[in-house]
Structure 1
Amino acid sequence: MRLATIRQPDGTTRAAVEYNEQWFQLDVASVSDLVTLPTWRALASAAINDSTAPRLRLSDATLATPLPSPRKIVCCGLNYHDHIAETGRDVPEYPTLFAKFGDTLTDPYAEINVGADSQKVDWEAELAVVIGSSLRRATKAEAEAGILGYTVANDVSYRDWQARTLQWFQGKAWDATTPVGPVIVTADEISPKQGLAVTTSIDGEVVQSSNTRELVFDAADLVAYVSQFTQLSPGDLILTGTPGGVGLGRSPQRWLRDGEVLTTTIEGIGSLRNQFRISTTEGY
């Protein structure tokens, strides 16, 4: 099943389910709201079978970030073998975690306005895990069963801010800089453990090309680990880390430039496409 949040002409949003090359819209504002309902699968199925349900062709829909209001967003760094190699670090014994706020997220095709805030804007393609049930101190098997599905994210990073201290948070949590989407694909349809291609390109030039088989801690590992110290709820997000090929790891280092388009693709899910607006004037 493929789920999305569709932006209406009046600016409101509605959750939708894909079927037969169409989006069938539900009477729920977003996928964030939908997945908190115990009967969400039945509601989605009913919409597909309802001849009066509003629907749109895939090409006519304006997609918003599918999860506009997660209670928690937990991110993992240094979680791909190839990315660890390019940073010169050791493979970690435990996941390296940090958090984002909900307003860090933005739409899958949004323009991202950096302005003069950063001169070292980097890209980080990431598989994002969508939580489907309440989890606390879950075993790996329970965590795997509690995964609703997967989507695409890019943990756009302001490396000049990130490098100011040993803590990464200030370089990772700028408002409206983390695109997520375009859809959520339920866990019964794709398997990161079997391997999904992860690709990032800038104006068509491929800069990241890897596979989820490179993950050190897989989706269930991360969900189980995070649930040991905090309650996870339906609609929460876990970002699983980025593969090699980031700008920081290049020689010479490479940063996003004004007007460039960043495309982030994960096999079986889809692509984000974000143009960047970056001033050449130094910010604070």
Structure 2
Amino acid sequence: MRIANLNERLVLVVDDNAGTALDVESASNGLFSADPQAIYPRWQEFLAWAPSADTSQARAFDPRELGAPAPRPAQVFAIGLNYRDHAAEAGLALPDTPTVFTKFVGSFTGPYDDVVLAGPTVDWEVELVAVIGTRARRVPAERGWDHVAGLTAGQDLSERTVQGAGPAPQFSLGKSFPGFGPTGPWLVTPDELGDRDDIALGCAVNGESVQKGRTSDLVFTVPQLIAELSAVLELQPGDVIFTGTPAGVGAGRTPKRFLAAGDELVTSIEGIGTMRHQLVSA
């Protein structure tokens, strides 16, 4: 199953190739709200209803009208150094526990929106993003997937100068400018994926591949992240986890390379879909 945020309304994506979707509020006769974020606290109820939805009322949509699948999470977690090759290119040791920071919700945007450059050192970071569907507190790793509503594509865009400013790194600020947290194009339930623990991901700038990886190379897998985070605090329905990026970021290159106005950033995740963003000057 795929769900999406279409013009701030929750829809079931009936055919992602043909671009058709079903408005959930209308199809459910008001049982479920049009608010995309409101579906996560009722995730199990929604899963039970969705197979019976009358898809004959599905309509074509413009992908440019898609927004973030979970647009207003209560909590956003982002994981650093979670691929071995990325830790190596950063010259840092692998962490013993997840390296956690946040991206503020004001950074969220859709899968096709323009992104305004916040400075001269804006970097790309393709990431698999997990959205929580069931409250999780002290969950063992073997039950971690039970708490995932679905997966989507994300970019952890980063202004590296701001990120590294001061005596202590400002990860959350450097990664939270408006538009620096795009997700989409929709949320895909894990059962739709051939192997939810081994998914290809990558991104390209102006048609040139700059990152490629597989989630089987994660240091901490999705269920392990849920176990580690829920050991500290309660994960709530609709919370978002950016799971980390593989090697190939601009700051890890020699010479360093950053995004410029006019660039097109294309982000793709196997079994989920593609996002396209144009970088524009302030």
The normalised TM-score by structure 1 is 0.89
- TM-aligned CA deviation for residue 24 of structure 1: 1.2
Alignment deviations for residues 142-172 of structure 1 (CA, whole Å, 9 cap, x no partner):
3221111100000000000011033322211
- TM-aligned CA deviation for residue 137 of structure 1: 1.2
Change beyond 3 A, Cα 1:110–1:91: same
Q: Secondary structure at the match of 1:94?
A: coil
Equivalent residue number for residue 268 of structure 2: 265
Q: Secondary structure at the match of 1:229?
A: coil
Q: Is structure 2 residue 5 aligned with structure 1 residue 5?
A: yes
Residues 30 and 66, structure 1, Cα contact 8 Å, conserved in 2: no
Q: Secondary structure at the match of 1:100?
A: coil
Change beyond 3 A, Cα 1:50–1:260: closer
Q: Secondary structure at the match of 2:203?
A: strand
CA distance in 1, matches of 2:113, 2:226: 28
- TM-aligned CA deviation for residue 216 of structure 1: 0.5
CA distance in 2, matches of 1:256, 1:60: 24
Change beyond 3 A, Cα 1:60–1:172: closer
Moved more, 31-40 or 132-141: 31-40
- TM-aligned CA deviation for residue 59 of structure 1: 5.3
CA distance in 2, matches of 1:278, 1:252: 22
Q: Is structure 2 residue 47 aligned with structure 1 residue 46?
A: no
CA distance in 1, matches of 2:281, 2:210: 19
Change beyond 3 A, Cα 1:31–1:46: farther
| Structure 2 residue identity aligned to 1:136 | R
Residues 106 and 179, structure 1, Cα contact 8 Å, conserved in 2: yes
Q: CA RMSD in A?
A: 1.6
Q: Secondary structure at the match of 1:143?
A: helix
Q: Is structure 2 residue 30 aligned with structure 1 residue 26?
A: no
Residues 203 and 260, structure 1, Cα contact 8 Å, conserved in 2: yes
Q: Is structure 2 residue 174 aligned with structure 1 residue 174?
A: no
The 5-angstrom pairing of residues 67-216 of structure 1 reads 67-114=70-117, 117-165=118-166, 166-167=168-169, 168-190=171-193, 191-193=195-197, 195-216=198-219
Moved more, 66-75 or 162-171: 162-171
Alignment deviations for residues 217-271 of structure 1 (CA, whole Å, 9 cap, x no partner):
0000111111111211111111100000000000000000111010110100001
**Equivalent residue pairs, number:** 268
| Structure 2 residue identity aligned to 1:276 | L
Residues 30 and 68, structure 1, Cα contact 8 Å, conserved in 2: no
Change beyond 3 A, Cα 1:5–1:160: same
Alignment deviations for residues 122-141 of structure 1 (CA, whole Å, 9 cap, x no partner):
00000001111001111112
Residues 153 and 239, structure 1, Cα contact 8 Å, conserved in 2: yes
Change beyond 3 A, Cα 1:61–1:273: closer
Q: Secondary structure at the match of 1:222?
A: helix
Equivalent residue number for residue 282 of structure 1: none
Moved more, 144-153 or 119-128: 144-153
Matched-pair identity in %: 36
Alignment deviations for residues 69-109 of structure 1 (CA, whole Å, 9 cap, x no partner):
11111000000111111111111111100012222100110
The normalised TM-score by structure 2 is 0.90
Residues 122 and 255, structure 1, Cα contact 8 Å, conserved in 2: yes
- TM-aligned CA deviation for residue 61 of structure 1: 7.2
Higher helix share: 2
- TM-aligned CA deviation for residue 57 of structure 1: 2.5
Change beyond 3 A, Cα 1:50–1:202: closer
Moved more, 29-38 or 90-99: 29-38
